[in-house]
Structure 1
Amino acid sequence: MNLSFATRKLKGSIKRVNQKVSKLDVNPEDYNVFGVSKADGVSITGKDIGKNLNTYYYFKGKKFAYNPYRVNIGSIGLSDESFEGLMSSAYVIFETTDEINDEFLLLYLKSPLGLNLIKWYGDRGGVRSALRFKDLEKIDFPNLTYQEQSKALEIIKSKQSIVDKLNIELEHQNELIIKLRQSILQDAVQGNLTANWREKNLNIEPASELLNRIKKEKEQLIADKKIKKEKPLPPINKDEIPSELPNGWEWCKLGDTFEIVRGSSPRPKGDSRYWSKHRTPFHWITIADFTPFSKMGFLVDTKEFLTEEGKNYSREVGTLDLLIACSGVGSVGRSVKLDIHGFIYDGIIAIRQINSEIIRDYIGYFIKLKESEIYSITTGGSWLNINTDLVKNYFVGFPPLEEQKAIVKKVNKLMAHCDQLDNQVEESRFQAEQLMQAVLQDVFNPKQKENSDDLIEALFPELETIAEVANLQQAMIIQKTELGLGSGRGKVYAQKTSANLKNIFDVDIPYTFEKSHHGEFSYQLSEDLDKNPYLRKVKTEVGEIYEVKNNKQQEVLNALNKPENASFIQSVDELLKVYQNDLIKGSTDRIELLNTVWRAIKDTKSLIGNTVYKYLEEWEIQQGAYKTKADKFTKSETFAMITLIKDLGWDKKIIHS
């Protein structure tokens, strides 16, 4: 591949390591088995029970290892000098000559440029691309001496840290835009967006009149046998009404206002009598089509198509219908409007308009807002499901027809603004990529600098402020912890507390947390804690903890008393009260369990103890002898933490997040 800087091939600078246990005088039972992941690099996976470990590779010291089928997404790692262990022969293991700086090579291969080179040389046109060792040897590597690589590594790391902070901030902005969209929809269905409009339009027809017309039209359609007569839905009791509505609005049930039907599927799946290998006018709509074939909330195409005969065994839908996914973990409740005619399978429920006066987009926005709430009323244990009765009995705050039009007009305008914000975030992501390209040009072409420092200052002047706020936040958390729990805490505590503040209390913590060995974890926060100018590490009997530096105490105390930090401090205080609960008692392990159960409830959308614990059984970790979260935490401990979360009232927020 032609690059803009001088290169040489890796061949001659790397050597394959492929010593199998069977060829060596070692006992495989004496060693741990390792694997490679994008997040953790070379890491313990445990003994592969039932596997013939004699076929595994044995190696020690500093070596590279990668999965040839996943290296294209960064699944490559570098072991340290003290390493000794086994790895499946499915991995490629290699070492470098003394002309290569290993850390520089690792960073280079995991960079966007390195990943592009891996894809380029690993793609041979097959179904699955794989980077064999001889393909790796073809990789273009900067033609730098060892000393120049070491210097380049320092430069790249310093700039990468800045870009990482930027990406965290962009992810944070993205989360805020998502919350903004939800807030807009919430205000729409509660009538807040059109409060001023109602004051100027007092004499419009109330929603009750439209609902009466819909009722009569539905009765006529039943009489004409165009729709099926169903058992009447129970009337809405006053005690069931979720909240008060604006004047002119009415509470109703979806089943009273719409026809609710479930899809159906030809059998058997894939039969050539029912499914066509080519495009036909008969779109076969499944949940799998919702994401890849949707534009601006509308489904515009499908992957599969039915034959003329196949369509007779499925449910037809059109452009006035709304679709809701009604089965599958992670899918239930997802909705989409239609821009095509098609046929739905039995994993989808259609909300069909009885009266053409109803503004479809209003109901579409209402259903979009309620997706997570619909998910929470699912049934079916491990295979989540909602039936048509649940959807029919779902409450809707129904505005007058003219107000529906006003709401949709306003929401469309606000959503267009959100789209602009999304585009700005994407543009910033592109600029961040350009920045790293400029950094690479700086280090690979020292005579033709792009001057990345100037680019950073021009594009992202707010980064220094973001970093300062983040550092001070952590210092205030540690200071409050010392006061509330009697001493500072370590990195695991800081990670969990920051994640809890962000997830439960909506505190503006500028880090992105992901599922990891100890629960919610941010790699950037981990690095920043060690470099935080307000904190110092102190070794204690229970391990390393953070404390506020003596010369920074007054500055942190001043920050704690500033009015602009009052909301933040209140959230920290409330969380510390939870930590003082008899179930937690300030224990970092118990705080980890709290965070772990939070994540389990969020991902399973369930408060059922066995469902949550099954999630813990499948959550792999690397904490000494513990291989899963369930190894570390018992069922009774987990069930007790679920009860605490419910008692605190956090459960609804978690499930609907």
Structure 2
Amino acid sequence: MSSRIYKLKELVESFSVRAKDLGGSENLPFLGVSNEKGITESKYAAEEKGDDYKIIEKGCFAYNPYRINVGSIAYVEEDIKGLISPAYVLFKVKPNKVLPQLLLTFLKSSEGLSQIKQHARGTVRQALRFEDLCRIEVTLPDYDKQTEIIDRYKKNQLQSDSLSTELTHQLDLVRQLRQSFLREAMQGKLTADFRSAHPELIEGENSAQALLEKIKAEKKQLIKDGKLKKEKELAPIGEDEIPFEIPEGWAWCRLGEIAYNIEYGTSEKADLNSVNIPVLRMNNIQNGKIVLDNLKYVKDTIKDLPRLYLFNNDLLFNRTNSWELVGKSGVYKGQNSVMTFASYLIRIQFIEQISVDFINSYINSSFCRESQLEPHIIQQNGQANFNGTKLKNIISPLPPLSEQQAIVSKLDELMRTCDELEASIRASQQQNEMLLQQVLREALEEKKAEPVLQTVSATRKSNISERTILAAYLIRRFNSDGFGRVMMMKLLFLVEYICQIDFESKYVVNVAGPYDELILEIESKLRRYGIYDARKNKIDNHVRYHEMMGVATVDELFEEKFSGEKEQIESIISTFKKAKWEQCEIVATLYAVWNNRIIKGQIINDLALKQDFLNWDPRKQKYTDRLDSALDWMRGNNIIPAGWGSVIEK
């Protein structure tokens, strides 16, 4: 088999037939091209001009010359005939030159798209004419070998698509985790320890109610001094309006009570002249933050300036957008009086005793979204709106100022963890796409390409994150007053060895049984992921696990990562459900010495197993009288090693 480089002019020929040349357009469907769906019914056809449309039929490639740069090209496999815009480019492959599916795959690949952009013409709107298409180059093997290549690619594409779906699901789990953190923060669960440690900072004069009284007095003085306009008094908060419980020392308030200014942005037309004043628009609010991308500008002489200059810590709220995006907010962190904001945004300026970052976190939480925003969004002409009057009346939980700051600090830490998780997943998505493109490239060039999932699955064996999920699941199923690190370590060992899950663990002899120092990294990740916090008890020095807000995601993560082993793991859990930590220590140690003997090919009998157990550590002598019953229990529950894994030694 040999490959060579072809120009597409050697492989394809134009197909341009008008409906009027074949008897007219009557009874023929109007079609278009979608990047995702291929050939689709057209919703925007000029049906009265149907006779001028081009005929599209089986064997045709079709693309909009202004859209092919994003992969919007399709091939007609079905035996159909229809009409397509006369602006579209249509062509067919020459006989016995290239398989249509292989050519389509190439043109939608990163290499194909790169050449499309290279050969397209135009400045503002680039277009790829048929003669431009013909200059594209592709490396192809002999025609009779191309079916093998496309079959191999499709197999890898199925695997890649499966992985892509999983990674997208993981991104959704991170999004859910972010919302879980926000919900816990708004209910005061993130800072329960802070309140216990600093009661003086949340009581009496430092309580939220006292803070509201101070703000009310300050606003009253500003009105008296002529620095603030008197506004209509906001309605008291009714009991039926309160969406969830808050800790003692907190209060409920309306945003209008704690803000001194709420106003719309400028409606002046902006342009791309960067020597002028940047205007923040709705696209500049992303994931609760202000991003300074794709800016537009207005002159500093417009009537709205200097009044609408932004100041550090101004909160911007998106009042008009799609249903999903209206209501997003972010905090401007920058120099005063150098930027402004557009009319689709509302600026909120708060009294100094309020943490604007806390309020921003609340507005971006599902609590606020579901109870305060969505019930009052108005949908008109395809856009959703939420006005300033409604914004003033949003009710918000209000902790004392010191606790607001503690919540913001904790959320910053947790959101950084989410950012790291998201970045890792997106890197995996990019790697997955690159591997699939490599499969195509190497296949066309006759190199042997490794299947995508072989490359991905090779890292699964040593995936500490998956081992952390397994540990989290075991903790969730067993966590009680007597459960801690010792019992979790033994259960994790037994599940790994019984189910033969290769995490490349490094178990060694420890007084309490098999021990792996990676438990410390697992506990660190449990804390970073906001699932469990490992704390040492000051009385007995035992490490125990305390739930954090991310614990709600554990079951779904376990189901996703261990679906193949789930039944066997659940059986082990059921077997040990009523066991105490001492029993787990005895069984895990007996299992380890028994497994050692199988691996080493040594004699196995109860006397030898018991002696190995006692030789494990001098402090094992206290269990001498329990070993016979433990061995009987192991055989009765089929907890019998198979000689899998490594020998566990000191």
**Alignment-derived partner of residue 312 in structure 1:** 305
**Alignment-derived partner of residue 637 in structure 2:** none
Instruction: Compute the displacement of 1:447 (Å).
Output: 4.5
Cα pair 2:139 2:445 within 8 Å, conserved:
no
**2:279 counterpart (270, 280, 284):** 284
Matched, 1:30 2:27: yes
- Tell me how many residue pairs correspond in the alignment: 466
Cα pair 2:45 2:85 within 8 Å, conserved:
no
Please tell me the residue identity of whatever aligns with 2:358: Y
> Any idea what the Cα deviations from partners look like across 1:219-268, whole Å, max 9, x if unmatched?
1111111111111111223343333210110111111111242225366x
**Is the alpha carbon distance of 1:162 and 1:452 closer, same or farther for their aligned partners in structure 2, counting shifts above 3 Å?**
closer
**Alignment-derived partner of residue 314 in structure 2:** 321
Instruction: Compute the displacement of 1:35 (Å).
Output: 1.5
Structure 2 stretches lacking a partner, 5+ long: 467-552, 559-563, 573-650
Q: Classify the secondary structure of the residue corresponding to 1:158.
A: helix
**Alignment-derived partner of residue 6 in structure 2:** 8
Spell out the pairing of 1:466-615 with structure 2 (5 A cutoff): none
> Any idea what the Cα deviations from partners look like across 1:296-341, whole Å, max 9, x if unmatched?
7134474213323444385333112101011233442111110234
Cα distance in 2 for partners of 1:357, 1:415 equals 24
Cα distance in 1 for partners of 2:281, 2:105 equals 41
Cα pair 2:171 2:422 within 8 Å, conserved:
yes
> Any idea what the Cα deviations from partners look like across 1:105-138, whole Å, max 9, x if unmatched?
111111222222222222x341111111111111
Matched, 1:339 2:338: no
Instruction: Compute the displacement of 1:412 (Å).
Output: 0.5
**2:178 counterpart (178, 181, 196):** 181
Cα pair 2:160 2:453 within 8 Å, conserved:
no
**1:158 counterpart (151, 155, 159):** 155
Cα distance in 2 for partners of 1:256, 1:363 equals 13
**Is the alpha carbon distance of 1:61 and 1:287 closer, same or farther for their aligned partners in structure 2, counting shifts above 3 Å?**
closer
Cα distance in 1 for partners of 2:264, 2:316 equals 10
**Alignment-derived partner of residue 609 in structure 2:** none
**Is the alpha carbon distance of 1:266 and 1:448 closer, same or farther for their aligned partners in structure 2, counting shifts above 3 Å?**
closer
Q: Classify the secondary structure of the residue corresponding to 1:255.
A: helix
Cα pair 1:63 1:95 within 8 Å, conserved:
yes
Q: Classify the secondary structure of the residue corresponding to 1:446.
A: coil
Cα distance in 1 for partners of 2:166, 2:227 equals 54
**Alignment-derived partner of residue 190 in structure 1:** 187
Bigger shift: residues 138-147 or 338-347: 338-347
Please tell me the residue identity of whatever aligns with 2:373: I
**Alignment-derived partner of residue 250 in structure 1:** 251
Cα distance in 2 for partners of 1:85, 1:238 equals 62
Q: Classify the secondary structure of the residue corresponding to 1:28.
A: coil
**Alignment-derived partner of residue 400 in structure 2:** 400
**Alignment-derived partner of residue 209 in structure 2:** 208
Cα distance in 2 for partners of 1:100, 1:74 equals 19
Instruction: Compute the displacement of 1:144 (Å).
Output: 1.3
Spell out the pairing of 1:102-251 with structure 2 (5 A cutoff): 102-122=100-120, 124-204=121-201, 205-251=206-252
**Is the alpha carbon distance of 1:266 and 1:314 closer, same or farther for their aligned partners in structure 2, counting shifts above 3 Å?**
farther
**Alignment-derived partner of residue 422 in structure 2:** 422
Please tell me the residue identity of whatever aligns with 2:282: I
Cα distance in 2 for partners of 1:174, 1:358 equals 32
Cα pair 1:20 1:56 within 8 Å, conserved:
yes
Q: Classify the secondary structure of the residue corresponding to 2:171.
A: helix
Structure 1 stretches lacking a partner, 5+ long: 467-504, 511-554, 565-657
Cα distance in 2 for partners of 1:413, 1:47 equals 49
**Alignment-derived partner of residue 260 in structure 2:** 259
**Alignment-derived partner of residue 391 in structure 1:** 391
Q: Classify the secondary structure of the residue corresponding to 2:458.
A: helix
> Any idea what the Cα deviations from partners look like across 1:271-310, whole Å, max 9, x if unmatched?
xxxx894424x4333324335xx9x713447421332344
Cα pair 1:284 1:306 within 8 Å, conserved:
no
Cα pair 2:186 2:397 within 8 Å, conserved:
yes
> Any idea what the Cα deviations from partners look like across 1:528-557, whole Å, max 9, x if unmatched?
xxxxxxxxxxxxxxxxxxxxxxxxxxx9xx
Instruction: Compute the displacement of 1:418 (Å).
Output: 0.3
Q: Classify the secondary structure of the residue corresponding to 2:305.
A: helix
**Is the alpha carbon distance of 1:563 and 1:211 closer, same or farther for their aligned partners in structure 2, counting shifts above 3 Å?**
farther
**TM-score of the pair, normalised by structure 1:** 0.65
**2:359 counterpart (355, 363, 369):** 363
**Is the alpha carbon distance of 1:456 and 1:125 closer, same or farther for their aligned partners in structure 2, counting shifts above 3 Å?**
same
Cα pair 1:438 1:451 within 8 Å, conserved:
no
Cα pair 1:289 1:303 within 8 Å, conserved:
no
> What is the RMSD computed on CA atoms of the aligned residues?
3.5
Cα pair 2:57 2:80 within 8 Å, conserved:
yes
Cα pair 2:109 2:437 within 8 Å, conserved:
no
Please tell me the residue identity of whatever aligns with 2:213: N
Cα distance in 1 for partners of 2:214, 2:44 equals 69
Cα pair 1:68 1:131 within 8 Å, conserved:
yes
Cα distance in 2 for partners of 1:13, 1:264 equals 56
Q: Percent identity?
A: 32
Cα pair 1:208 1:250 within 8 Å, conserved:
yes
